[in-house]
Structure 1
Amino acid sequence: MTTPTSGGAEQVVLLDEEGHAVGVTDKATVHHRATPLHLAFSCYVRDPDGRVLVTRRATHKPTWPGAWTNSVCGHPAPGEDLADAVRRRAAQELGLRLEAMSLVLPAFRYRAVMADGTVENEMCPVFVATTADAVRPDPDEVDDFAWVPWPEFRTSVLSGGREISPWCREQLQAMGADPWEAGDPVGLLPPAAR
């Protein structure tokens, strides 16, 4: 398995407009006012009671510090299988083993700009998964978390009643009422993620 680092620095995969890999760069330097397009992922994790895990990003993170968002997100390492990257980050950030993982938005892409001008610019396939594990958040990544019934969470975000990261809002607009019931084909992933 490919490791997420090269010489100690976490790497991200840079993409062209069609989603082909065109290089790598250090994650620590990728986000700025002219962030290049790169590969990422998001995942929504549900517990046996049908509640989705919502997390609050650590306040020292460079992008959207302190923002509430989906369960886990991150970047696959160069050469790392995308599903393996999702599992790796869920274990690292939340102490979770993921089960029944499926791809629901293979071609999701977004660009968002923070108040200070920092840009997120990602092709970001979206997964859903389940877990029965207790959350053990890494404080370097997650400040807080909550389990919320999926219909309540989705409705509150789409109505504007819940503050959430911009990518999470866009993802929920594209996801159905029960995304755990359907998945899209892997063939729609960006080529760099296949």
Structure 2
Amino acid sequence: MTELSSTPVELVVLADANGRACGTAPKATVHDDNTPLHFAFSCYVRDEQGKVLVTRRALSKKTWPGVWTNSMCGHPGVGEDPAAALVRRGAEELGVPPQRIGDIKCVLPDFSYRAVDSSGIVEWEICPVYVATLNTGDVAPLPEEVDSFAWVDPVDLVAAVKSTPFAFSPWMVEQLAHPELQHAIGA
């Protein structure tokens, strides 16, 4: 007799050309050389001193391993509000309890991008961009998600991304080109 897994399959919500939900696919299999358009989010977390958290993606990640990127990102579940998904991912990715993430603001509600990593895997997302505040303490990232992290001055971050875009995720490079996001993080 085959034993059934008690772990639910994480799904991403697929989008049609008009940006409407049109189905789901398992997250574990959706990202390949023909990734369908789907919903996601990105978040830049600030501390009480105004520094921005940047993370280096774990070397075991399927896409963009070892690349520096925004604080966290993820995919909202079926029927899940992106801000709620952001709080959930704060715990799953950064080890931050939900009550420590606050002042969540959507800065780029219409951001979307398509990028291809060096292995040929495509990322194609409708990806609103948020800024949030870490109310107290530090983060304790999960090693399967984050290799390392740093709290940086927002002005220095924007300058680094402009001068060495190849060292950062393509979505972060595109996002930080928007003056609205620069202003929201204090750059």
Q: What TM-score do you get using the length of structure 1 for normalisation?
A: 0.86
Q: Can you give the 5+ residue segments of structure 1 that lack an aligned partner in the other structure?
A: 1-5, 182-194
What's the counterpart of residue 34 of structure 2?
A: 34
Equivalent in 164, 168, 174 of residue 164 of structure 1: 168
Q: Is the 8 A contact 2:52 2:185 kept in 1?
A: no
1:1-194 equivalence runs, <5 A = 8-96=8-96, 97-131=100-134, 132-160=136-164, 163-176=167-180, 177-180=182-185
SS state at 1:104 partner: strand
Paired-residue identity, %: 54
Q: What TM-score do you get using the length of structure 2 for normalisation?
A: 0.89
Which amino acid is the alignment partner of residue 84 of structure 1?
Answer: A
Distance 1:180 1:58 in 2: 24
Distance 2:115 2:55 in 1: 19
Q: Is the 8 A contact 1:104 1:175 kept in 2?
A: no
Q: Is the 8 A contact 1:37 1:123 kept in 2?
A: yes
Deviates more, 1:88-97 or 1:109-118: 88-97
What's the counterpart of residue 3 of structure 2?
A: none
Distance 2:137 2:105 in 1: 18
Distance 1:57 1:83 in 2: 21
Which amino acid is the alignment partner of residue 36 of structure 2?
Answer: P
The number of equivalent residue pairs is 176
Q: Can you give the 5+ residue segments of structure 2 that lack an aligned partner in the other structure?
A: 1-5
Q: Over aligned residues, Cα RMSD in angstroms?
A: 1.6
Q: Is the 8 A contact 1:106 1:126 kept in 2?
A: yes
